[in-house]
Amino acid sequence: VVDLGMPSRSVITTCAYCGVGCSFKAELRGDQVVRMVPYKDGGANEGHSCVKGRFAFGYATHPDRVLRPKVRERITDPWREVEWDEAIGFVGTRLRDIQARHGTGSIGAITSSRCTNEEVYVVQKMVRAVFGNNNVDTCARVCHSPTGYGLKQTFGTSAGTQDFKSVAKADVIVLIGANPTDGHPVFASRMKRRLREGAQLIVIDPRRIDLVRSPHIEAAHHLQLAPGTNVAIVNALAHVVVTEGLADLDFAAERCEGFDEWAEFIARPENSPEAVEPISGVPAAELRAAARLYASAPNGAIYYGLGVTEHSQGSTMVMGMANLAMATGNIGREGVGVNPLRGQNNVQGSCDMGSFPHELPGYRHVSDDAVRTVFENLWGSPILDEPGLRIPNMFDAAIDGSFRALYVQGEDIAQSDPNTKHVTAALEAMELVVVQDLFENETAKYAHVLLPGTSFLEKDGTFTNAERRINRVRPVMAPKTGKHEWQIVCEVAQAMGYDMHYDHSREIMDEIAATTPTFAGVSFDKLDKLGSVQWPCNESAPEGTPIMHVGQFVRGRGHFVQTAFVPTEERSTRRFPLILTTGRILSQYNVGAQTRRTANVVWHPEDLLEIHPHDAEVRGISDGDTVSLASRVGETTLRARIVDRMPVGVVYTTFHHPVTGANVVTTENSDWATNCPEYKVTAVQVGLKQSA
Ligand code: SF4
């Protein structure tokens, strides 16, 4: 319940929901937040906000918060509330004991994109310097890891190219696999403003999202493709650019490499719109018209979301979009670029901080001797030069018996990761699961230790948003748990015999700046002075870098990659004739751990299965009926909503509630390069269970 009385003080901080990274003035009376007022000088939001940031902060004081550590020997035992010292000692002793019996590589950790850069940095440091391996991964594994891979291969760095403001200069916007109205509402407002001013919109999405047709906005083209055919579509667009003489040959010659070979590949008949039409279901004429519109625009900008990355060819598609942008010269100035709409508040930051098992902070490979030496000298520990385990590898190794303990920082893997049965089997197989979280979530059901985390209102650090903007997260109140999350990790490291110690989170940022060239110019003082900065922020860009790849790509020359379309193995069959795809809704957030504990839940109290009227009719399903949803890996039950937003043969649901658990049915299929799960394509059957 929010008391709307007059505030007595205020603190500027950052929203902890999506990757837009809106700044807010938290207004307090005493210790109680009475209002979250969007901050007019916020670099990402300029005074705007959505219903999550503005109203959905009550979870921070919800009675479900875990405020004291809990321990148990077996997951069937009841929890025992203990003091911090006992809980941390328990974790340290067990981790060392497991390593002594099963080897250094038998333990690992997962970092959270909901935590601050500083909190994430210390976890990867603990894994590398104390665990003595590279078994650290981030929840970005299951969302934007293909972005990291694809943009690094083509442009040289794993991040979006533009600041949000840049959209105001775009003449044609290509929106692929993203629904910013629900997922990134404040950025959606900027985009809609530009569209109302006359910019043209091309939507590439199996679902007819609001932006296809809404008041004062009508997309020039909606390429309503069959799920799983993104790469065929982007290749067809590029084919038109190359074969109709629309390519920017000067840009390709001066700024890029590999254009001629790529152009020869993309001009092949199998990439033509006519060849792609039967694969994707998109008429060739529409593909040609959309390609001409984008290529002939003075400024063409690509924005994309998880509908690009969460596929077996997620990384290929990211590179395909980069090819298209380079071929048309749409990189390196305002109004253009290739821009991921990042899901979580700090998913960019968690990747920047070295949470991938193959990369140290700043996206530098663990095999790089010079980079390893910097950290080894500072940390006083050797760092392995071989990549560690990714999240799905950890699960597989747990079931095989070689991976025995997992430290999970603020991610509910038992709800968010695909094929729930496999995930929980892996968790059950481990000797020790440590969960550091605000709530006793689904994963905690399989945990032996629950270490209470802090909400964003208690954190002191930084988040990095989708436009690489590093925002300050300032504490509005002291940690309700008695400890900052970075302190917990330092104390676990100490319990394992390693001296990890900081007096304040600003010292962690100073260490990041000292070791990571793209952050070299970042400090809390600078952030307090400038409000925020976009990395790279260093000697050559002391106030940050809003637009990347100006004049030269980070890797030198932009790299064209041949992106052959390979159909996913997940096909509809007689037994599973429909294709399920998933997404989010405005009022809720991811697995709902936070938003379900706020008043926002009334707007979306359950996940619904959207089904086309034709598919419903042949199954005897009416609106509101309870239906079964089954795939080859699992089955769940939810209510049907009959809408024609999806094409015939495709169904859709959200994944905000644990009871209905969409991930019970999603499979182990994943991106070939990064193992990002193929959440967006699951063959399913739907049947009537109970009439409304
Ligand atoms: Fe928070 Fe995203 Fe909404 Fe901004 S758009 S208020 S960052 S949820």
> What's 295's domain CATH number?
3.40.228.10
Question: Which residues form the pocket of ligand 1, taking CB atoms under 6 Å from any ligand atom?
Answer: 15, 17-18, 20-22, 45, 49-50, 52-53, 184-186
In a domain, 627, yes or no: yes
Does residue 592 share a domain with residue 511?
A: no
pLDDT one-digit tens code per residue, 56-103: 888 888 889 999 999 999 999 999 999 999 999 999 999 999 999 999
545 found inside a domain: no
Distance in angstroms (rounded) separating the CA atoms of residues 187 and 201: 15
Query: Would you say residue 543 lies in a domain?
Result: no
Residue after which a domain boundary falls, among 320, 341, 362: 341
Question: Separation of 488 CA from ligand 1 center, angstroms?
Answer: 28
From atom 1 of ligand 1, which residue's Cα is the shortest distance away? 53
Burial of residue 27 (number of CB atoms within 10 Å: 0-12, 13-18, 19+): buried
- What CATH number did the domain enclosing 20 receive? 2.20.25.90
Calculate how far, in angstroms, residue 185's C-alpha sits from the geometric centre of ligand 1. 7
CA angle, residues 297, 301, 307, in degrees to nearest 5: 130
**Contact (CB, 8 A) for 454 and 97:** no
Give 46 Cα–ligand 1 centroid separation in angstroms: 12
CA 437/CA 66 separation, integer angstroms: 8
Q: Is residue 590 domain-shared with residue 487, that is, in the same domain?
A: no
ipTM surpassing 0.90: yes
State in Å: Cα 181 to ligand 1 middle.
Answer: 11
Residue 1 has pLDDT above 90, yes or no: no
Q: How far is C-alpha 246 from the geometric centre of its chain's CA atoms?
A: 34
- Collapsing DSSP to helix, strand or coil, 526 comes out as helix
Residues 231 and 356 in one domain: no
Q: Is 561 within the bounds of a domain?
A: no
Residue whose C-alpha is closest to residue 158's, from 360, 370, 386 = 360
Give the distance (Å) from ligand 1 centre to CA of residue 57.
Answer: 12
- What's the pLDDT score for residue 76? 96
Cα of 545 from ligand 1 centre, angstroms: 22
| Residue 3 phi, psi (nearest 5) | -85, 120
Pairing between β-strand 578-583 and β-strand 650-654 as defined by DSSP bridges: parallel
Give per-residue pLDDT as tens, 485-526.
999 999 999 999 999 999 999 999 999 999 999 999 999 999
List pLDDT tens digits, range 2-56. 455 677 889 999 999 899 999 999 998 887 888 999 999 999 998 999 988 888 8
Domain shared by 191 and 296, yes or no: yes
Mutate to test the pocket of ligand 1, among 23, 181, 186 (most ligand atoms within 8 A of CB): 186
Burial class (CB in 10 A: 0-12, 13-18, 19+), 305: buried
Same domain, 188 and 295: yes
The mean pLDDT value for 468-481 works out to 95
Would residue 74 count as lying in a domain? yes
Q: At what angle do helices 117-125 and 505-515 cross, to 10 degrees?
A: 70
Which atom of ligand 1 sits closest to the CA of residue 186? 5
- Tell me the whole-structure pTM to 2 decimals: 0.92
Closest ligand 1 atom number to CA of residue 345? 7
Question: Does position 602 have pLDDT exceeding 70, yes or no?
Answer: no
Say how many Å lie between the CA of residue 471 and the centre of ligand 1: 13
- Ligand 1: which atom is nearest the Cα of residue 185? 5
Q: What is the DSSP string of 349-361?
A: HHHHTT-STTEET
Task: Indicate the residue among 312, 341, 370 that finishes a domain.
Answer: 341
Distance 348 CA to ligand 1 centre (A): 15
The overall average pLDDT reported for the chain is 93
The reply to whether 79 and 150 lie within a common domain is no
Q: Please answer whether residues 117 and 461 qualify as being in contact, where contact means their C-beta atoms are separated by less than 8 angstroms.
A: yes
The atom number, within ligand 1, closest to the CA of 589 reads: 8
Return d(Cα 531, Cα 42) in angstroms, integer.
Answer: 7
Identify the residue whose C-alpha is closest to ligand 1 atom 3. 50
Q: How far apart are CA 99 and CA 641, in angstroms?
A: 50
Nearest CA to ligand 1 atom 4: 22
- Measured in angstroms, how far is the CA atom of residue 18 from the centroid of ligand 1? 5
Atom 6 of ligand 1, residue of closest alpha carbon:
53
Indicate whether 260 belongs to any domain: yes
User: Residue 187: what residue type?
Assistant: F
Answer yes or no: do 236 and 291 share one domain.
yes
Residue 658 has pLDDT above 80, yes or no: no
| Stretch (H or E) spanning 217 | strand 217-218
User: Same structural domain for residues 161 and 299?
Assistant: yes
Distance CA 596, CA 566 (A): 39
Ligand 1 atom with the smallest distance to the CA of 465 is 7
Q: Could you tell me the distance, in angstroms and rounded to a whole number, from the CA of residue 211 to the centre of ligand 1? A: 18
Spacing, Cα 337 to ligand 1 middle (Å): 22
Tally of domains in the chain:
4
Atom of ligand 1 nearest to the CA of 14: 7
**211 plus 308 within the same structural domain:** yes
* In-domain check, residue 547: no
pLDDT of residue 583: 78
Give the mutation target among 13, 14, 20 for probing the ligand 1 site: most ligand atoms within 8 A of CB.
20
Dihedral, CA of residue 635, residue 639, residue 640 and residue 645, to nearest 10: -90
User: Is the confidence at residue 383, as pLDDT, over 80?
Assistant: yes
> Distance from the CA of 21 to the center of ligand 1, in angstroms?
6
Question: To test ligand 1's pocket by mutation, which of 184, 191, 463 has the most ligand atoms within 8 angstroms of CB?
Answer: 184
Asked if residue 565 is part of any domain, the answer here is no
Distance CA 219, CA 236 (A): 19
Position in ligand 1 atom list of the atom nearest CA 51: 3
Kindly give the number of the ligand 1 atom that is closest to the alpha carbon of 50: 3
Q: Same domain for 274 and 317?
A: yes
| Predicted pLDDT at 233 | 98
CA gyration radius for the chain?
A: 24
Q: What distance in angstroms lies between residue 62's CA and the mean position of ligand 1's atoms?
A: 20
- Pick the range with the lowest mean pLDDT from 384-398, 550-564, 604-618: 604-618
pLDDT, position 591: 64
Tens digits of residue pLDDT in 319-335: 999 999 999 999 999 99
**Minimum-distance ligand 1 atom for the alpha carbon of 18:** 2
Phi, psi of 575 (to 5 degrees): -75, -35
Same domain, residue pair 132 and 151? no
CB-based contacts of 52, cutoff 8 Å, min separation 6: 15, 17, 18, 185, 586, 587, 589, 595, 600
* 541 φ, ψ (degrees, to nearest 5): -140, 70
In tens, the pLDDT along 224-265 reads 999 999 999 999 999 999 999 999 999 999 999 999 999 999
Predicted local distance difference test score (pLDDT) of residue 5:
61
CA 584 vs CA 180, 422, 581, 663: distances in Å: 10, 24, 11, 13
pLDDT digit string (tens) for 522-578?
999 999 999 999 999 999 999 999 999 999 999 999 999 999 999 999 999 999 999
Return the CATH number at 660. Answer: 2.40.40.20
- Asked if 605 and 641 sit in the same domain, the reply is yes
Ligand 1 atom having least distance to the Cα of 184: 5
Size of the chain, expressed as the number of residues it contains: 692
Q: Is-contact 227 650, C-beta < 8 A? A: yes
Furthest-apart CA pair in the chain: how many Å? 70
Domain with 306 in it: 145-341
SS3 390: coil
Residue 21 Cα: closest atom of ligand 1: 7
Measured in Å, residue 641 CA sits from the centre of ligand 1 at 27
